[in-house]
Every structure is written in C-alpha cells, then in structure tokens.
Amino acid sequence: MAESLLSERVTAVLGWGDRVLDTDATTVAAKFYQGLSSGKRVTEALAETYQELIKVNARDWHKLRLYVAGSLPGALVTPLRKPGRKPAPRYNKTIDEFRDEERKFRVVNRENFVGRRRQLQNCLRAFKLDDKLGILIHGMGGLGKSTIASRLWERFSEYETVLWWQQIDSSNLVQKLADKLRDADLRSKLQNNKNGLKYRLRDLFENLIEAGAKPFLFLFDDFEFNLEPREGGFVLKPEVAEVLDALVFAIREIGREKIIITSRYEFQYDLLSEFWVQGLDAFRKADLKKKLKRLENFNSGKIDEKLIERALKLADGNPRLLEWLDKDVLACKNIDAKLTEHESSSEDWKWKITRSELYAQIDEKGIQVLSNCLVLEIPVPMLALDAVCESISGYQEKLNQAVDLGLIETGSEVEESERVYRVSRIVPHIISSIKLPEVPEVYSLYEKGSEKLFELWGKKDNRSEEKWREIFRLKFANKENPERFREGFSQMLSCDYYSAADSAYKSELKQIKTELTELLKNNNLEEYLCQGEWRKADEQTVVIFYQVMALRDIQTSFIYDDKEFPMSILKYIDQLWIKYSNGKFGFSVQKKIYQSLGGKGKYDKEVYEAFGNEVGWRSGEKQLHYSDLTFSLNTDYTGHLPFQAWQYWEATESMRPKIEFVNLGKLL
C-alpha cells in the first residue's frame, strides 16, 4: 500500500509493517501528531514517537515504518511560538450541530465524532470504486446514521447537496432542485410537468454536464417516514417509489449524481442492488472507549464504577443512549435510583431509538428467534445464529426480518471483513417478551452455540481471546453437560494458537468462581479412571488444576506450583491414579523415576530428556505429540500418565506450541 501511495506522488507514508495492538497505534497517533502540530519536522516527530513507544514498553514499536519518495518532508505547520500563529480554539463540549437551515438534520459535531472508520471506508469505496449510485445506511436509532451521512457529505465537496428530511414527494423535490438552479430556462423545463419526472431529471442532469455545473448529491435522512409495513417488513410508499424510481433512472442514464439514504429499517426495493447497503452496530472495544472519553460524567472518575457499569450495560454501546445517560442520569444526585427506574421500564427512553410502528412487525415466532439469539453475547457469523434457531420452522426469514428492522445489528470483522450479527441488549428492554429462554431449554442452546463457534473459530489460527471466551462461556453455561470443562480443555489443546485459548479458559472459569467449590467435589476424575478412560482422566486432572487456580486466584506460570497449590488436592489426584492403575500411573510413581535418574529439583536438560524416554514421552531425540501417547494400561512404560499436568505451552516466534517440562520436585 505504501509503495502504491508513493507511486501516486505522495511524498511520505507512515505505516505499520504488521498487525499491532490498539494501544501501540494510539500511542503513535498521539505522540506523532503532537510533534507535527507543534512545528517539528517529520523526522523529529518520528524519533520522539519511537522514544515514546520504547518508554511505554510497546510490544511492536519496531514495526512502525516511514516510506519516502524523493526528499524527506520538513515541518508541516508553523510552530506556535512564531508571530502570527493563533492557538487552536478551545474544545467545544457541545455534541450536536445542524447541517441545514431548518435545523432538522442533527448530527454529532466533528470533534465528538468517533469510530465508524470502516463503515465510512465501505461507503466511499462503494461510490468511488464499485460505482454504486446510492448508499443505504440503516440501523437502530442513535447509532449515528445521520452523522456518517454528514461525514460523507463533507467528503464529496465536488457535489451540490440536496438535503431532504423525512417525508418526500415529487413536487417538493422538483421545487428544491429548482431553487438550486440559476438558469431560468432549466428551472422552467424541470417544472414543466408535461413530461414524466424521470425524463425531466435525466434532461436536467445532462444539461448540468454541458454547463459545467456540479452534479447533485441527494441525501434523504430519516427515510423510514417514507416506508409502510408489509408482510413483517417495510416497502416504499407508492408516491415515494415514483420519486426514487425516477431518480435511479436518471442517474443510471447520465451516471454522475449520487444518493445517500439513512433509515432505521432496511426495506424491500427492486432497485436496491444499485445501492451499497451499510448496516450499523453498537460501539464496542476501542470505539466505545473513544466515545466515553468525550462524555464528561462517564470519564470523570468521581462516580462509583458499579454505577458506570450499569449505565454501560443499559446503553449497550448505543451512542445516543450513552450521551443521554451521561447528561441526564449520571449528572443527577441519585444515580442509583434513576438507573433502577430506567432498567425496570423503558417508557421514558425507548423512543430515542425506536418507533411505534416497529412493534407491529414482530410476531410470536420472531420473538422466539430473537430470544434464542440472546444466548450469543458478542457479534458472530450468521451460521451461529442458525445453530441456535434451527429448531424453529422458518427461522431464516425471521432472522433476515430482524436484521432489516435493526433488532439484530450487523457489523464486520476488522481482520477478515466477515459479516457478523448480534441482537442488541437494548431489545429486551423495549420488547419485554424477548428474553433469554428458560432452563433447561437454554442449556441446549448454549451447547449448540459453543460447538458452532468452535467449528467456525476454533479450528483455525484464532488469536482472539474474546472469541475463545465466548466459546468457553457457552460451553460452561450448559450445566446439563457434566463433561463441559474437560471438553473445553480438549478444544483448547486442539487449536493452533494455544495462548489466547488458555487465557480465555482461565478467565471464564473465574466468572463462575462461586460454583467451583461444588464442581470440584463432582469432578468425574474417579469415574474416568474407574472406566479406564485414561485420556479423559488425563485431561480432567489438568481441568481440576485450572479450577483450583480460578477459585484461589492463583497467579503463576506453573498452574501446579506447590507454593500456592494445595498439597491435599495433589495427593488426592495421585492416590486415584495409583489405585485404578494398580500402581502403574501417578505423580508419586513419576517422582521416583525422576529421582532415580538423578533429578534433584533443579532444571537439568539431560535428566529431563532421560525422564521423558523412561516414561515414554520421547522417542530418542524427538518429543512425542499428545496424540502419540498410549492411553492404556497396556503401555510398556511405567509412569506414562498423567502427562498434561507436567507441561505448559509457550508460544514461539512462529506461534507454534513448544513443550517444556516443569520441575517435578514442585509437585510432591
């Protein structure tokens, strides 16, 4: 990309050589632009940026690279200290501004606009590269549809903008266009209704080209007022269809003008293939953090964190609700009472994001589909929604309907550009009949969701701890499955990128900390050993270690470090292994072998390798994979099991797992 930009006569390009952490990228942006804005040369600002990255121990500081064509650029602005330079205006706390004289087109001002970079890029690409004649931006109220349209308006300064708010009709459209025309002859032809609207528009656009005038950019905001319900969805009102058909016809004929539509609902329209359809989702992760930094009370540090968490949960990343909560709830004296009131009833705030016509479109089957989808907490591929809804006849139609209505938000994975979906957590507040299914039905949904996400995410190079946490959260939530923790552990072992999965597994165990004491009493280890299911027993042994870690908040690289790990549990596990293997397997058996080889507790490579060969974990110089072990009493090796408890996985530069042995003296 840098090479391409330089070939297009860009002087210099600063970019990353690989994927990096958001924190590193934020540090670079802050420090580099601070240097440039103070009048430093590019090289000076870059040098200070490198120093700052090293100072904060940024993992990927060395991946920041400057590409230059020709000579290096110098300072880009005049330093503030020089005469004639005025300081930048003070930060404006006013969030909203209006882009029209009638003060109807309300948008977030430029200073407070955050996120939506990918959505903006998608829309720009649709116009400039894909040659779409229109863009439809849809989603629940408050997600920033109008603001994105406003940013696009700014990007297309070569267009003459015709703004329309809510209801449109042909006569008023003609009048708006006529008011933009200086040529009386063109106005007369446009207003002469002897010809059809589509022909008058086509002729107007053609005449504008000949006159060297700007093309029109039609921006229709709050377009849902031009829709009417039909069969659980929305279609254009007849008079609106006439106007939009005429515009599309004229633009297709001439090929210059563009259309931007914002609507709470996606609608059925035969010519929608001519449009890029951009759905919006709630703020998450970095975008949410950026938004909160601009909200005074959320960012004050003076409000109890539990109250902040409740407010965040109620808003579920909706920018408009975040602004309302910041101004009207977190600023009041009794925040707790206010939040409780709004959590129990949405009557005072649901109209900020929805309209009454929405409720008539949701039938009983649609409610069931949305309720099932609530088991999935993060944005997921549509196949995951399919998995939890497959028992409902005609569910696919209801899923598509919910997307069109904005009840299921749509977004895309940053790295893969994969479309993902999530039921907004605001939905159960505004439609009380939509709620998480009851026990025991919900257990099967948890299991289906976990298995499908593992199929989609777990069997490839998945480095996202968030995705792994969702897989394990769903797996652990199915309380009808007594093997859920061991099965999750087995999934963790089978993945290509162990580190993220391991961290997620531990994190999700800590979320159910109150249940772990009872779970440890019913751990299935003795059952597996009694039945001779040695591999399951080996995995369950480590699962017990993980559960004890989570219960006791043990923080150590070695999950079995006896400085923190209870010796009683180690002895209990060891006795079970010895009992059901007739003394062939167990920690104490392995310890005797280790000590007989000269092991004394300190790391000794030769002893470790000899030990591995003695118990059948190695073949000469080669370390065996887990699948190569013999999970049977028929093995020739005493001390062959347990195995997993003696190792930890460490990511190498190539992100492949490497086995290291833990000091055996720490166990017994």
User: How much is the pLDDT for 433?
Assistant: 94
The residues pairing with 515 across neighbouring beta strands, listed in sequence order, are none
How far, in Å, are 583, 603, 618, 662 from residue 622 at the CA level? 27, 19, 6, 18
Distance of CA 659 to the CA centre of its chain: 32
Class of domain 357-437: mainly alpha
User: How much is the pLDDT for 659?
Assistant: 33
Which superfamily does CATH assign the domain made up of 111-279 to? P-loop containing nucleotide triphosphate hydrolases (3.40.50.300)
How far, in Å, are 287, 425, 582 from residue 379 at the CA level? 15, 12, 50
Quick: pLDDT tens for 14-28.
999 888 888 888 888
How far, in Å, are 147, 214, 219, 227, 363 from residue 261 at the CA level? 12, 20, 6, 12, 27
| Mean per-residue pLDDT over the chain, rounded | 85
Average pLDDT of the segment spanning 404-409: 91
Can you give the length of the chain in residues? 668
Rounded distance between C-alpha atoms, residue 156 and residue 334, angstroms:
46
H or E element, residue 254: helix 238-254
Q: Which residues of 390-402 are buried (b: 16+ CB within 10 A; e: fewer)?
A: eebeebeebbebb
User: How much is the pLDDT for 88?
Assistant: 45
Average pLDDT of the segment spanning 482-507: 87
How far, in Å, are 278, 605, 611, 618 from residue 621 at the CA level? 56, 12, 12, 7
Identify whether the C-beta of residue 254 lies closer than 8 Å to the C-beta of residue 209.
yes
User: How much is the pLDDT for 107?
Assistant: 67
How far, in Å, are 17, 32, 288, 382, 454 from residue 66 at the CA level? 10, 12, 30, 40, 39
Q: Which residue bears the tokens 């028992």?
A: 391
Closest CA to 648 of 510, 546, 570: 546
Q: With pLDDT > 70 as the criterion, what percentage of the chain qualifies?
A: 88
Average pLDDT of the segment spanning 283-296: 90
User: How much is the pLDDT for 358?
Assistant: 82
Quick: pLDDT tens for 91-117.
445 555 655 555 555 666 666 677 788
Beta strand segments in 3-43, E: 12-16
User: How much is the pLDDT for 193?
Assistant: 79
Q: How far apart are the first and last CA of the chain?
A: 57
Cβ neighbours for 429, distance < 8 A, ≥ 6 positions apart: 314, 343, 346, 350
Identify whether the C-beta of residue 229 lies closer than 8 Å to the C-beta of residue 356.
no
Residue 366 has pLDDT above 90, yes or no: yes
Quick: pLDDT tens for 323-353.
999 999 999 989 999 999 999 999 989 988 8
- The helix/strand/coil state of 234 is strand
What CA dihedral angle connects 97, 103, 107 and 111, to 10 degrees?
Answer: -10
Average pLDDT of the segment spanning 484-513: 87
Rounded distance between C-alpha atoms, residue 222 and residue 140, angstroms:
11
Within 10 Å of residue 261's Cβ, how many Cβ atoms? 26
- Kindly give the residue spans of alpha helices, DSSP state H, lying in 330-394: 335-344, 364-373, 382-389
Quick: pLDDT tens for 541-561.
989 888 888 887 765 443 334
Closest CA to 467 of 364, 410, 384, 548: 384
Quick: pLDDT tens for 16-61.
988 888 888 888 899 989 888 888 888 888 899 999 989 888 888 8
Residue 171 has pLDDT above 50, yes or no: yes
Average pLDDT of the segment spanning 426-442: 94
Rounded distance between C-alpha atoms, residue 342 and residue 346, angstroms:
6
Within 10 Å of residue 425's Cβ, how many Cβ atoms? 16
Quick: pLDDT tens for 193-235.
788 889 999 999 999 998 888 899 999 999 999 999 888 789 9
Closest CA to 262 of 151, 113, 360: 151
* Strand arrangement, sheet containing 216-221: 160-165, 216-221, 258-263, 134-138, 275-279
Instruction: Please report, for the chain, the start and end positions of each structural domain, with discontinuous segments joined by +.
Output: 2-68, 111-279, 285-353, 357-437, 512-668
Given pLDDT bands bounded at 50, 70 and 90, which one contains residue 307? very high
Average pLDDT of the segment spanning 169-187: 86
| DSSP conformational letter for 597 | T
Q: Please confirm whether the linkage preceding 89 is cis (ω < 30° from 0).
A: no
- The helix/strand/coil state of 552 is helix
Identify whether the C-beta of residue 505 lies closer than 8 Å to the C-beta of residue 498.
no
User: How much is the pLDDT for 2?
Assistant: 81
**Parallel, antiparallel or unpaired: strands 233-236 and 227-230:** antiparallel
Residue 145 has pLDDT above 80, yes or no: yes
Closest CA to 138 of 152, 154, 149: 149
Most confident of 143-152, 639-648, 649-658: 143-152
Rounded distance between C-alpha atoms, residue 664 and residue 550, angstroms:
22
Quick: pLDDT tens for 506-525.
899 989 888 888 888 888 89
Amino acid at 292: L
Q: With pLDDT > 90 as the criterion, what percentage of the chain qualifies?
A: 43
